[in-house]
């Protein structure tokens, strides 16, 4: 795929603004910036980091409290993919301060687990990740990968990450049509923080 036209179209959309942006408009703007960043990542363009940063900042700006856990999740993931350690820690603390670890929803607990892994709170991360396992409303390969990273289980993680990549290969819908296994990339970065260094499977949804 030629990612450059894909990126340029989304960068153009990000630049558009008609009047004051409301919460939903900011979320969509963040989504577009994130898609542009993923396209740049696939094209191996160093400008990807800047666009991941824009996505994270826009999602943070859109936050009005409540149970909108997708926004801190996106900000954490974007910061990790940008290799921006201070931002990843900042957004992780934001998620925890907002109550992600106490959330009833699996998405809230997902946000908490990502945050705890970024902050190297392995035992806490495993405790929250384990609450995601066995649920029918959350991807079990992702839940498993989070738990295995927390526990430093290399074999379990290897099997889980392969399943995560396969799920991206076979799906038909992607955020802003960016066919990229971003969750697998984020899990890989978190695993490496834990000392688990495995090569991701060869795939056309990975850079």
What are 121-174's pLDDT values in tens digits?
999 999 999 999 999 999 999 999 999 999 999 999 999 999 999 999 999 999
pLDDT at 64: 85
pLDDT band at 103 (very low <50, low <70, confident <90, very high): very high
99: left (phi over 0), alpha (psi -120 to 50) or beta: left
Q: Residue 89 belongs to what domain range? A: 3-193
Residue 17, pLDDT > 80, answer no
Unique residue bearing structure tokens 């998620």 = 95
| Structural domain includes residue 92 | yes
Q: What is the CATH number of the domain that holds 24?
A: 1.25.40
| Structural domain includes residue 206 | no
What are 20-41's pLDDT values in tens digits?
778 999 999 999 999 999 999 9
| Structural domain includes residue 26 | yes
Q: Could you report how far apart the first and last alpha carbons of the chain are, in Å?
A: 12
pLDDT at 19: 60
| Structural domain includes residue 200 | no
Name the residue with higher pLDDT: 81 or 64: 81
| Structural domain includes residue 95 | yes
pLDDT band at 18 (very low <50, low <70, confident <90, very high): low
| Structural domain includes residue 140 | yes
Average confidence (pLDDT) over 94-104: 96
Q: How many domains does the chain have?
A: 1
């Amino acid at each position: 795929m030629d990612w450059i036209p894909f990126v340029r179209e989304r960068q153009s959309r990000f630049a558009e603004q008609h009047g004051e942006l409301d919460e939903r408009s900011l979320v969509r703007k963040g989504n577009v910036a994130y898609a542009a960043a993923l396209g740049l990542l696939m094209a191996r363009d160093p400008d990807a980091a800047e666009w991941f940063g824009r996505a994270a900042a826009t999602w943070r700006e859109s936050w009005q409290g409540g149970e909108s856990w997708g926004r801190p999740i996106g900000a954490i993931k974007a910061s990790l993919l940008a290799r921006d350690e201070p931002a990843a820690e900042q957004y992780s603390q934001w998620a925890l301060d907002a109550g992600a670890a106490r959330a009833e929803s699996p998405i809230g607990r997902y946000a908490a687990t990502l945050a705890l892994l970024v902050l190297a709170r392995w035992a806490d991360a495993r405790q929250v990740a384990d609450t995601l396992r066995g649920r029918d409303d959350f991807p079990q390969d992702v839940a498993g990968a989070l738990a295995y990273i927390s526990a430093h289980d290399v074999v379990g993680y290897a099997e889980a990450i392969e399943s995560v990549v396969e799920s991206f290969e076979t799906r038909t819908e992607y955020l802003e049509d960016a066919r990229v296994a971003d969750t697998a990339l984020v899990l890989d970065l978190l695993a490496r923080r834990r000392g688990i260094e495995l090569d991701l499977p060869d795939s056309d949804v990975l850079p």
